[in-house]
Amino acid sequence: MNVVADPHTHREAPVRPAPPAPYGMLAELTHRCPLQCPYCSNPVELDRRNVELDLDTWKRVFSEAARLGVLQVHLSGGEPTARRDLEDMIRHCVEVGIYTNLITAGVGVTPERLQAISDAGIDHVQLSFQGATAEMTDKVSNFRGAHERKLAVAREVRRLGLPLTINSVVHRANIHQIPAFIDLALSLDAKRIEIAHSQYYGWALRNRGALMPTREQVFWALDVVEEARARLKGKLTIDAVVPDYYAKYPKPCMNGWGRQSLNVTPSGKVLPCHAAETIPSLDFWNVREHSLSEIWTDSPAFNAFRGTDWMPELCRSCERKEIDWGGCRCQAMAIAGDAAATDPACHKSPLHAHMLALAEADAEGSSEYDYRRYLTPDRPS
């Protein structure tokens, strides 16, 4: 790191190199959602409707994102179709040259609404399934009839000629359905499926004991995914996210803190990752007061764990430091109580055995869910 003279103290001060431009942005348009999933990754304290950014502010943010270098925006929530101005946002993204991916639960989306979303210029639809069967989807989402509604939306997406990804969050109750999830994606003519093991932040952390699979289940699932990838190569892309609790090395969360992507919450806070608000020491700048470029380059939260200088010695001297980028800061906060600690998912961490013990204990826990009952909003339009 270079140094320059501070004009006030005349002492040398470090000059932080400019970060690379982000190429992805998660736009959390609302936290309103008709489902009550126990693994919800949104924060425990949700943004209410009256603090959501208005359309003009979102348009400005999308324009600033395009100038900053963002190539794709994931329109998410909650349920993004709860925003009646979603089509206006999509049209604006098209105008400024950003690829748009709609991440939806699908249960409140009519064919007419999908047609309007398609006409606005959406590039891709990612549809969540909580199970590969109606019984499982309805149980996990706590929404009767959810599965059949999702099937209808998936078929309509393909009828409109839009690319479709099936997103399946797996955990102890449905991990055995991974082969059926893959068959479901094929039957719906999806070109991609994301098999994402539940990650234990936000509301999901409350349900860790009801969601955690066993070690044997996880490694069985990995074998199933690898076999399916080989068998379906060129026909279906299968992305998989494993639970860190059984890992040897930490995942390079967001490919490094503040390196490639950013999240904007419904109220306008900008986060380096989806769960960053679980770190209480960080102050997140808001697009109401700062430009996206200022936040990306200068905000203390983005610079807190950017690069490698912040790392503890165990990580700083590791040959994988620019592969894992220190792993997950939110997980270090959750398990070690210190966001700057070595990620306990790493087998070199002194807390790695503790993390494994937590997983093994939780895998024998209750199967009763603490549903997000207060998430239910006024219905999507």
Query: Which residues lie across from 241 on neighbouring strands?
Result: 196
Q: Rg (Cα) of the chain, in Å, rounded?
A: 21
33 annotated as belonging to a binding site for a ligand: yes
Please identify which residue in the block is written with the tokens 């000059």: 15
* Closest C-alpha to 62, from 87, 30, 98: 98
8 Å CB contact between 309 and 1: yes
Query: Which residues lie across from 263 on neighbouring strands?
Result: 26, 271
Distance between CA atoms of 143 and 133, rounded to whole angstroms? Answer: 13
Three-class SS state of 351: coil
Amino acid at 159: R
| DSSP H or E segment with residue 217 | helix 215-231
8 Å CB contact between 287 and 302: no
C-alpha 204, offset from chain centre: 13
Q: Give 328: exposed, middle or buried? Use CB within 10 Å, 0-12, 13-18, 19+.
A: buried
8 Å CB contact between 249 and 325: no
CB atoms near residue 248 (< 10 Å) = 9
- DSSP-derived secondary structure letter, 293: H
Cβ neighbors of 182 (< 8 A, separation 6 or more) are 193, 195, 228, 232, 236, 238
93 annotated as belonging to a binding site for a ligand: no
40 annotated as belonging to a binding site for a ligand: yes
Give the residue ranges of the annotated binding site for [4Fe-4S] cluster.
Answer: 33, 37, 40
Give the residue ranges of the annotated binding site.
Answer: 33, 37, 40
